[in-house]
């Protein structure tokens, strides 16, 4: 299991200098991935329920901006840190497909993969914040079906043979077009996020794996079993799927065993949230985990 870290491209500490310093430190210290988050719009008020907890729940006014502002756009931030790092993977946890134009998205991800030397792990989700899609002038209806086709379109542009590629679906109809640049990786891992039954089925049915938010190892194992059963039922190789989850750094005597419990479930990449009160304290926490934890998990 590899340990990655959440990229601080959102929130009160986010700045170009801190992004650069954090990414360089994580790369040099041996962490496995930098993980970004995706919100294009931070509405002051929302009627949408937050769906990534155990139960859907309302959120307070200004809660999104209170958590994320300043919010440096995810793909751009990952491109920025790709230029100052050399080996660490670049992950999205997760890209919200319904708020993104599928053709532009395919081109951006392919470009990032080529320019970074094949380091992208593309976590995706169908989103929960309807007000964000409205502000982006993107359709919110049937967003699950639209996301399925979004994934199919990206893969068609990335992997189809020949000098020209076309795509004809329910929501997208593309005439023959030049697909370059195509990603360096074949395939770019597309990991499906979400905890609903339909999201778990989507991960098993069409994803290269499942990307989970923070949850206990027991709950993670239960959901992971559901993903793998769906993959088996679809005639896919469930053993080939990747599993990503997230945790907060602990810094106590139980830390190593805590991480090992996720490894026992089958987690391939564990996204550790290490943010502290200041940039200096956060970089110091990266160093502590690199010294005390990474050797124990290698």
Binned at pLDDT 50, 70 and 90, residue 243 comes out as very high
Q: What is the mean pLDDT of the chain?
A: 95
C-alpha neighbours within 13 Å on the C-beta side of residue 193: 26
Per-residue confidence (pLDDT) for residue 69, from 0 to 100:
87
Q: Is the pLDDT confidence value at 164 over 80?
A: yes
Percent of the chain residues topping a pLDDT of 90: 88
Domain count, the chain: 1
CA distances from 260 to 141, 253, 254 (A): 40, 13, 10
**Nearest CA-CA partner of 276 in 4, 12, 3:** 12
Q: Range of 49's domain?
A: 2-297
pTM for the complete prediction? Answer: 0.96
Percent of the chain residues topping a pLDDT of 70: 100
Binned at pLDDT 50, 70 and 90, residue 236 comes out as very high
Per-residue confidence (pLDDT) for residue 298, from 0 to 100:
80
Contact 101, 14 (CB under 8 A): no
Per-residue confidence (pLDDT) for residue 87, from 0 to 100:
98
Q: Is the pLDDT confidence value at 54 over 80?
A: no
Binned at pLDDT 50, 70 and 90, residue 86 comes out as very high
Q: Residue 190 belongs to a domain with what CATH number?
A: 3.20.20.30
Please write the tens of the pLDDT for every residue from 245-260. Answer: 999 998 888 899 999 9
Per-residue confidence (pLDDT) for residue 252, from 0 to 100:
85
Binned at pLDDT 50, 70 and 90, residue 242 comes out as very high
Binned at pLDDT 50, 70 and 90, residue 56 comes out as confident
φ/ψ of residue 123, rounded to 5:
-85, 135
Cα–Cα dist 297/293, whole Å? 7
Instruction: Kindly state the average pLDDT of the residues 10-16.
Output: 97
Q: Which helix (H) or strand (E) holds 132?
A: helix 130-135
Q: CA Rg, the chain, in Å?
A: 19
Q: Is the pLDDT confidence value at 265 over 90?
A: yes
Per-residue confidence (pLDDT) for residue 260, from 0 to 100:
96
């Amino acid at each position: 299991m590899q340990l990655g870290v959440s990229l601080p491209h959102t929130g009160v500490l986010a700045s170009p200098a801190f992004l650069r310093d954090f990414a360089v430190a994580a790369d040099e210290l041996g962490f496995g991935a930098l993980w970004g988050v995706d919100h294009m719009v931070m509405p002051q008020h929302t009627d949408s329920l937050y769906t990534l907890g155990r139960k859907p729940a309302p959120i307070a006014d200004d809660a999104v901006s209170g958590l994320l502002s300043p919010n440096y756009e995810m793909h751009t931030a990952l491109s920025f840190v790709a230029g100052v790092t050399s080996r660490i993977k670049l992950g999205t946890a997760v890209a919200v497909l319904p708020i993104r134009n599928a053709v532009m998205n395919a081109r951006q991800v392919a470009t990032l993969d080529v320019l970074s030397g094949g380091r992208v792990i593309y976590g995706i989700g169908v989103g929960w914040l309807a007000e964000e899609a409205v502000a982006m002038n993107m359709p919110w209806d049937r967003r699950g079906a639209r996301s399925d086709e979004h994934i199919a379109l990206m893969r068609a542009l990335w992997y189809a043979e020949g000098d020209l590629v076309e795509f004809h679906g329910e929501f997208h109809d593309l005439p023959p077009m030049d697909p370059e640049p195509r990603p360096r990786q074949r395939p770019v891992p597309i990991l499906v996020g979400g905890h609903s039954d339909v999201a778990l089925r989507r991960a098993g049915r069409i994803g290269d794996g499942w990307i989970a938010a923070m949850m206990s190892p027991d709950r993670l194992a239960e959901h992971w079993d559901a993903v793998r059963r769906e993959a088996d039922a679809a005639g896919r190789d469930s053993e080939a799927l990747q599993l990503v989850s997230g945790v907060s750094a602990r810094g106590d005597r139980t830390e190593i065993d805590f991480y090992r419990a996720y490894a026992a479930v089958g987690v391939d990449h564990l996204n550790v949230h290490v943010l502290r009160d200041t940039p200096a304290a956060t970089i110091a926490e990266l160093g502590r985990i690199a010294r005390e934890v990474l050797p124990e998990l290698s």
